[in-house]
Amino acid sequence: MTSVLVIFAFIIFLGYSFYFYKIIIGKPQEFELSLIKSLGEWILARKVKARTDLWLMLLFSVVFELIYFLLAWTVIKNPLLLFFTAFFAGFELLHILFTAKRFRNFFQGKLPFKSLFLWPVERISALFFFTHSLLVLLSLIFLKTA
């Protein structure tokens, strides 16, 4: 299970590294603008299928995060990191629920596309994911807390 957690944490670490860098240097809007622009183009290209695909992507992210948090909770023994994991998992649960509500409102025509994401919340989530995955990797590699 430890090696699977390392793989998950490494994927998360790599996946959020660029966004983390943009946030740290104070230019997250550049990255967010390219994301929302690409998503808009993708939705236009996929047309009706985009709705199902977006819900499937959200479901995939829920499953991925659930597995990651369960692995972290099972493998990690450090009480501070476990507390951070529990706090972060709670934050992500709320984040996913609010994102799902925003998706629903968008698809019902109640929310404009440009408001689909709450970027300050997305930044906090990215900072948490980057930091948590880094701490998990460092903990497993150097502290042998598993």
Buried b (16+ CB within 10 A) or exposed e, 114-132: eebbebeebbebbebbbeb
Residue 146 pLDDT greater than 60, yes or no: no
pLDDT in tens, 60-76: 999 999 999 999 999 99
Domain definitions of the chain by residue range: 2-143
Q: What's the pLDDT at 144?
A: 67
